[in-house]
Amino acid sequence: MPSPAKLTQGSTFKHVVIMSMTGAFGLMCMFIVDLVDMLFLSMLGEKEAVAAVGFSSAIMFFTISLSIAVSISATALVSKAVGEGDIELAKRRAVNVLAFGIVFSSVVVWLLWPKIPHILLFVGATGLTLDLATGYLQILILGMPAVMIGMIGSGIMRALGDARRAMYATLIGGLINAVLDPIFIFGFGLGVQGAAIASLIARFSMVAVSYYGVVYVHKMLAEFDLMDFFKDVKCISVIAVPAMLTNMSSPLANAIVMEHTSSFGDDAVAAVAIIGRVIPVVFAGVFALSGAVGPILGQNYGAGRFDRMHRAMSSAVIYAFGYCVVLCLVLYNMQDWLVAVFSATQESADLIHFFATFVSFSFFFQSLLFIAIAAFNNLGKPLNSTLLNFGRATLGTLPLITIFALFMGAEGILFGQAVGSVIFGCLGFYMARNYITELEEKEARNLTPSQYHNYDEML
Segments forming the whole domain that contains residue 143: 17-448
- Residue 365 and residue 367: Cα distance in Å, rounded? 5
CA 285/CA 327 separation, integer angstroms: 10
109-120: b (≥16 Cβ within 10 Å) or e: eeebeeebeebb
Q: How many CB atoms lie within 10 A of CB 415?
A: 21
Does 9 fall in a domain? Answer: no
CB-CB contact of 156 with 94 (8 Å): yes
* Chain segment 361-419, per-residue pLDDT in tens: 999 999 999 999 989 988 888 889 889 988 998 888 889 999 999 989 889 999 999 99
Q: Would 231 be classed as within a structural domain?
A: yes
Residue 305 counted as domain residue? yes
- DSSP 3-state of 428: helix
Among 126, 23, 129, 115, CA closest to 62: 115
Tell me, yes or no, whether 458 lies in a domain.
no
80-123 pLDDT, tens digit per residue, is 888 888 888 889 999 999 999 999 999 999 998 888 888 888 87
6 domain residue, yes or no: no
Specify if 7 maps to a domain: no
**Amino acid at position 10, single letter:** G
- Tell me which H or E stretch contains 187: none
Q: How far is CA 211 from the centre of its chain?
A: 20
Overall size of the chain counted in residues: 459
Tell which residue, 35, 26, 57, has the closest CA to residue 284. Answer: 26
The answer to whether residues 229 and 94 touch, using CB atoms and an 8 Å cutoff, is no
Domain count, the chain: 1
Question: Does 114 reside within a domain?
Answer: yes
**Tens of pLDDT, residue by residue, the chain (459 residues):** 445 577 888 888 998 888 888 877 776 776 666 667 777 777 766 667 777 777 777 677 777 778 888 888 888 888 888 888 888 888 999 999 999 999 999 999 999 888 888 888 887 777 887 888 888 888 888 888 988 998 898 888 888 888 788 888 778 887 888 888 888 888 887 877 888 888 888 888 888 888 888 888 888 888 888 888 988 888 888 888 888 887 777 767 877 888 888 888 878 888 888 888 788 778 888 888 877 898 899 888 888 889 999 999 999 999 999 999 999 999 999 999 988 888 778 888 889 999 999 999 999 999 999 999 989 988 888 889 889 988 998 888 889 999 999 989 889 999 999 999 999 999 999 999 999 999 888 877 765 444 444 444 443
454 lies in some domain: no
